[in-house]
Structure formats: structure tokens, C-alpha cells
Structure 1
Amino acid sequence: MTESKVKYTEEEILEIFKEQHRLCSPLDPEADLWAEITGEMTVREWRSANDLLGWKKLSEFLNQEFRVQISQEEWQNVLEPARTRKLSEVCRLLTEYAEKDTYEPKTLFGKPCIKAGVFLTIKKNLKDKGVDVSELRPSSSLTAYMDNYFSSVIEEITLTGTKPIDKIETRRKKRGFWNAINIFDSNRYETLTGDIKTFRDLTEKIIEEKNKN
């Protein structure tokens, strides 16, 4: 079956930004964990709440995240001046370009399978963002991919418009004083995602969440 896409609504874009803040701000000491993400907040407040970059780098990131090609001129018009522009303007611009996946069933053993459709779409999107998916299977550890490709995985999860993960935590892998203070060891922490441990778990939870709507 041919994949189809439809445009996001302004409310859906805002919910994506809310979910990204909910999941990621506890992991970033520079972010404002208690900020309320609303359409009426200024771009400056939004950037501060999420520890985001200046408008040029932010525009490049948003183009990559939402798989769009919005010009810098258009981005500047909604991101600057940051003290007066509203997050709702950012959401509105994205609705003109950004398309969401509808996750059509894929044929598996001669029968349509929505689980295969969701999983393969996520896999394709991750590959398009530079993630090595050559070994990615439904049984693959979600946290292992988040440890290596955190931003890309979070983007794809939140772009589904669902909330399959209750919270994200980190835990130190290695014990001992030296491992506690060795900030140069990039592999000393692992990511924890509660009951969602594999891409199969993630796929099933996304489908469950979508069926509620």
C-alpha cells in the first residue's frame, strides 16, 4: 500500500514541542524543567525553557527535525526578534510545510500488518536522519539506539504525535569514585525508558496511543 502523508495542525506541532520539553528538560541542567510550553510564550522563553540555540542554528535543526526545507528568511520572520515573536508563529509556519506519516499497513506473510507499517516507517525516517539502521529489528533495544542517536530517536518518537514513553532517565553504568567524576567517559551513562524497552514495545505503544484518538 502506498504511504500517504497529511499536514500537521498548529495544535499538533505545539503538542510535539510540549512532549519534547517534558521528556528532555529533566536531562538538561540548562533547561527550565518547570516552564509551561504554550503558543503564547515568546520564542526567547521557548528557547530558554529548552536550552535551544540561536535562530540560525535553530532553523537548521527544525528543518532537519521536521524534514522540511523552509528558507532562512521565513524562519527569521518567525524567530526574530525572539523577545516578541510567539511560539504559535513557529507552529503556524511549520503547518505550511511539515507532513506527518499516516503509517499505512505493510503486507506481512500475505496479510496487512499495521505493526510492520509503523516500525518500517520509523526505521526509514531514522535512516534518512543518518542513523545506522542496518541491524535495527523490532527486538532491538530502544535505549541502545537512544544512547547513540538520542536526538534523532526522540524526534521520531514525538513526531508520531503520541506519548508512548512516560519518562526518560539516565543511570550510571559504572560504579566507583573515578567513574563518578570522569566526565570524559561518554559511555558512563545509559538511558532508561521504563516499560518501553524495545522497538517492538515502542511500535505497539504508538499504535495503542493512536487508537485512543
Structure 2
Amino acid sequence: MNQHAFSGAEREAVYRAIAERRDMRHFSGGTVPDETLARLLAAAHAAPSVGLMQPWRFIRVLDPRLRTAIHAIVEAERVRTAEALGERSDDFMRLKVEGVLDCAELLVVALGDDRERHVFGRRTMPRMDLASAACAIQNLWLAARAEGLGMGWVSLFEPDELRSLLTMPDDADPVAVLCLGPVESFYDRPMLEEQGWATARPLSELLSVDGWA
């Protein structure tokens, strides 16, 4: 028996959170208690980062005017994305791709303006700062699911516009708009599967041994 392993119930809870995590777009309003939000952000901040660079920066958006402006930025990019999709444009416009105006909490995640000084792990793999920030977002996502809260990662925005709106330094890079809050229910499957937009590929198609399959 592995003395470092969690108990059966604890392992089951971890795997359940992973399996039932969904990219949520439908929110039911409400609020996220301050103590819960603090736990979620602490979970995000506990993420691994290459060279302990901790490149993530979190901006909690409380001003309704800023939320409305962020929604406008996202909507403009949604239209541009639809135009770029060509024959799938109409199908895309029917999808709900964000919950910016409906969620209880809106967070923006950015890469900090001091990450260039971190050479450890970035000399040959310069995107490890982004990978580290993604780990923090995933931590927050899984913790939110365990708390019974939905979270959605919105990536449809023009970075320069969002950077300017939130007065970020020129060398800070916004990477995610996170919608967080109570939901009436979680999707049984990823929403894009339920809506017929895409089908998840099985692991067997993405796993090989000793070389590229």
C-alpha cells in the first residue's frame, strides 16, 4: 500500500471534480461568499510554476461599468470569430460562449509584467509562463467545482483592448476572462458536445509510446 496515497473517498472526490468540471456559460446570478472566493484564489495561487515565477495576476472586476465594457469587447470578438469561421458562422452565433453579464464574479487573469526576468524554464520553452498561468486557472476551476460553483474561461477578446481598459502595463498580457458563480445545473457533457459543435476525441487517439504515432 502506498503510504502517501489519499484515502479512497478522498481520491474519488479528486477524480470526480476532474470528471465533472465543465466550461460553464449559464449562470444563475447570486453571490460567491468572500471566504469561498478566498479559498478559490488560494487554490489558484498554489499552482505549480516553472522556476517559481508565479506569473499570474488576478483582477477582480467589481465595477458594473467595467463588466459591461468587457462584455462589449467579448461580443465584438465573437462577431469577428463568426466571420472568420465562414460556413460555420451561423452555427457559432447560436452558441452561448460567455456569461460575463450573468455570473456572480468576474475575474481577469493576466501574465505579469516582470516575467521576462525569469530565465529558469523559459530559455528554450518561452511559453512556460502561460502554461503556469493555465495551471493556476485549472486549480481554480477544480476548486470551484468542488464548491458547487460553475466557472467558464472566456478567451474571445482583443488583448490590447482589455489591457487598456484595465490599465495594465504594456508588457502585461491578459490571457483569460473567468466567469464564476452559482449555476442551476452542470452540463452532463461539455456544452460544445451537447450543442453538436465538436466531439471530444478518446485518449487512445492521443497517446503513443516511444515516438509520435
Same fold, judged at TM 0.5 (above): no
Classify the TM-score, shorter chain: under 0.3
Which has more helix, going by share of residues?
A: 1
Q: Which has the higher contact order (CA 8 A, sep 6+)?
A: 2
Give the structure-2-normalised TM-score.
0.28
